[in-house]
Amino acid sequence: MSLPLHAKGSPRALPSTEASFLWRKLSEHRTALWRTASIGLFFLVWEIAGRVPISFAFPTFLETLRAFLNMLFNGAFVAAYAQTLQPLVIGIAISAVVGVGVGIVMGLSRFAEWLVAPVFIVLQAAPMAALIPLITFVYGIGLLAKTLAVIMLALPVIALNGYKAVRNANPSLVSMCVSFQGTRWQTITKIIIPDASPVIFAGLRLGLAAGFIGVILAELLITPTGIGDLITYHRSVADYPEMYAAVVSIILVSTLTLAALEAFELRVLRPEKRRT
């Protein structure tokens, strides 16, 4: 008599719904899972490659992790970043203000575009590492030279993105504002800049990434200070796990900073994106 009951499926249906519930839970976090798996796989390959070993100068993942935690807790990183972040923060702040400002002016005025844009296009195309020794001749080896290196790398991409964003502001929205008798100033502040802000922010993210390259180049090529010093010093004394840990730390810091900037942009500037 119990068989027909089973055939109706209710006792059997229960575990399957439970399984599908679990599956749904998993698939909700699928992107996060894949990301973690991808990073895990990378560390695994690193560990294997280090154990083969590819080169005596190539530490395993676990050795690097140990060195990383050591340097994190003995204050080496804190001291290094206190130095490295100075030219980076000053340089990025100057590049952001000047770059966005110049970019917007270039986007709005054909004359400013004609006057300034070629400079930035050449600067963006030029291999900056080759120019860094030149800075040393003119500005010495101090904070000023390093800040300049950051600005030279970050400013062109920020300015050019701002310029393109403003130049390509939605013409339909601009003519809407004009048709409702918006003044030129209102059109710029209420339509053009908000419409351009996603691309301006993309420029800021690229500029920040370039700024990290600039500061590390400066610390490796001008004088070893901060994180550049950690890399150079540990390489010279053959402490390869420490050297790799320093490299990993700068990658980590720059990735986290970029992610924070993106999160800030979504939260503050694009309210319509938050709900999707």
Partner 1 sequence: MRNITAQASAAATRLAASDVAVEVRGISKLYSEVEALRAIDLDFPRGKLTTLLGPSGCGKTTLLKIIAGLIPATAGEIRVNGKVVTGPGPERAFVFQDFALMPWATVMRNVAFGLELKGMGRDERQAIAAKYIAEVGLTGFESKYPHELSGGMRQRVGLARAFAVNADVLLLDEPFSAVDEQNRRKFQEDLLSLVEKEKKTFIFVTHSIEEAVYCSDRIVILSRRPGRIAQIIEPEIDRAASPDAIRRDQSYLDTVEEIWQGLKRYVD
Residue ranges binding partner 1 (CB under 8 A):
170, 172-173, 175-183, 186, 190-191, 194-195, 269-272, 275-276
CB of residue 186 to partner 1, shortest distance in Å: 6
Tell me the residue type at 24.
R
Q: Which two tokens stand for residue 130?
A: 């080759």
150 contacts 88 by C-beta, under 8 angstroms: yes
CB of residue 174 to partner 1, shortest distance in Å: 9
CB of residue 260 to partner 1, shortest distance in Å: 21
165 contacts 203 by C-beta, under 8 angstroms: yes
d(CA 112, CA 102): 9
- 102 or 169, CB closer to partner 1? 169
- Say which residue the tokens 């502040």 belong to: 189
| DSSP code for 170 | -
- 219 or 265, CB closer to partner 1? 265
- 251 or 263, CB closer to partner 1? 263
Phi and psi at residue 41, to the nearest 5°: -65, -40
- 128 or 178, CB closer to partner 1? 178
CB of residue 268 to partner 1, shortest distance in Å: 11
Phi and psi at residue 214, to the nearest 5°: -60, -45
CB of residue 130 to partner 1, shortest distance in Å: 41
d(CA 261, CA 276): 19
- 127 or 271, CB closer to partner 1? 271
